[in-house]
Amino acid sequence: MESKYDKVAYPENAYLHSDNEQEELGTGVYPGVSIISRKYKREDTIKIACFRVKRKFSRIAIVGGILAILLLIIAIIIISTSGKNEAKEERNLYNSNNKDFGLFFQPDVDNSPLITFSPQNQGSMNPYLNSLDHNMHDYNSFSHDKDPYMDCKNGEEVPDGKVCVQRVETFGSECTHLENYGYLQGRPCVLLTLKLRPNDVPENFANNSDVGKMLNDTWSPYHIGLTCDGEREEDKKHLGHDRYYSPVYTDHTIMKEKPIQNFPSKGFNLTFFPQKNPTKYIPPAVMVQFNTLMTNHVIRIKCVAWVANPVKGENPEESQIYTANFRFLINS
Lowest mean pLDDT among 1-15, 24-38, 55-69, 145-159: 24-38
Residue 190 has pLDDT above 80, yes or no: yes
- Over residues 289-316, mean pLDDT: 92
Q: How confident is the model at residue 246 (pLDDT cuts 50, 70, 90)?
A: very low
In angstroms, the CA 41 to CA 36 distance is 15
Encode the chain in three state secondary structure: CCCHHHHCCCCCCEEEEECCCCCCCCCCCCCCEEEEEECCCHHHHHHHHHHHHHHHHHHHHHHHHHHHHHHHHHHHHHHHHHHHHHHHHHHCCCCCCCCCCEEEEECCCCCCCEEEEECCEHHHHHHHHHHHHHHHHHHHCHHHHCCCEECCCCCCCCCCCCEECCCHHHHCCCCCCCCHHHHHHCCCEEEEEEECCCCCCCCCCCCCCHHHHHHHHHCCCCEECEEEEECCHHHHHCCCCCCEEEEECCCCEEEEECCEEEECCCCEEHHHCCCCCCCCCCCCEEEEEECCCCCCCEEEEEEEECCCCCHHHCCHHHCCCCEEEEEEEECC
Residue 84 has pLDDT above 90, yes or no: no
Residue 199 has pLDDT above 90, yes or no: yes
- Over residues 68-74, mean pLDDT: 79
As a dihedral over the C-alpha atoms of residue 266, residue 268, residue 271, residue 274, rounded to 10 degrees, the angle is: -160
Residue 33 has pLDDT above 50, yes or no: no
pLDDT at residue 258, rounded to an integer: 86
In the chain, % of residues over pLDDT 90:
61
Closest by Cα among 215, 213, 311, 199 to 267: 215
pLDDT at residue 89, rounded to an integer: 53
Residue 162 has pLDDT above 70, yes or no: yes
Residue 238 has pLDDT above 80, yes or no: yes
In angstroms, the CA 244 to CA 256 distance is 6
- Over residues 296-315, mean pLDDT: 91
pLDDT at residue 31, rounded to an integer: 46
Lowest mean pLDDT among 32-41, 137-146, 203-212: 32-41
pLDDT at residue 145, rounded to an integer: 85
pLDDT at residue 21, rounded to an integer: 47
More confident residue, 32 or 109: 109
What burial class does residue 307 get, using C-beta atoms within 10 Å of its C-beta: 0-12 exposed, 13-18 middle, 19+ buried?
buried
pLDDT at residue 283, rounded to an integer: 97
In angstroms, the CA 174 to CA 166 distance is 17
Q: How confident is the model at residue 65 (pLDDT cuts 50, 70, 90)?
A: confident
3-23: string of b/e by CB count within 10 Å (b at 16+)?
eeeeeeeeeeeeeebeeeeee
Residue 15 has pLDDT above 70, yes or no: no
More confident residue, 312 or 150: 150
Closest by Cα among 303, 313, 230, 317 to 268: 303
- Over residues 157-162, mean pLDDT: 96
- Over residues 3-15, mean pLDDT: 51
CB count within 10 Å of CB 225 equals 26
Residue 28 has pLDDT above 70, yes or no: no
Lowest mean pLDDT among 127-141, 156-170, 304-318: 304-318
pTM (predicted TM-score)? 0.71
More confident residue, 281 or 143: 281
What burial class does residue 63 get, using C-beta atoms within 10 Å of its C-beta: 0-12 exposed, 13-18 middle, 19+ buried?
exposed
Residue 77 has pLDDT above 90, yes or no: no
- What does the mean pLDDT of the chain come to? 81
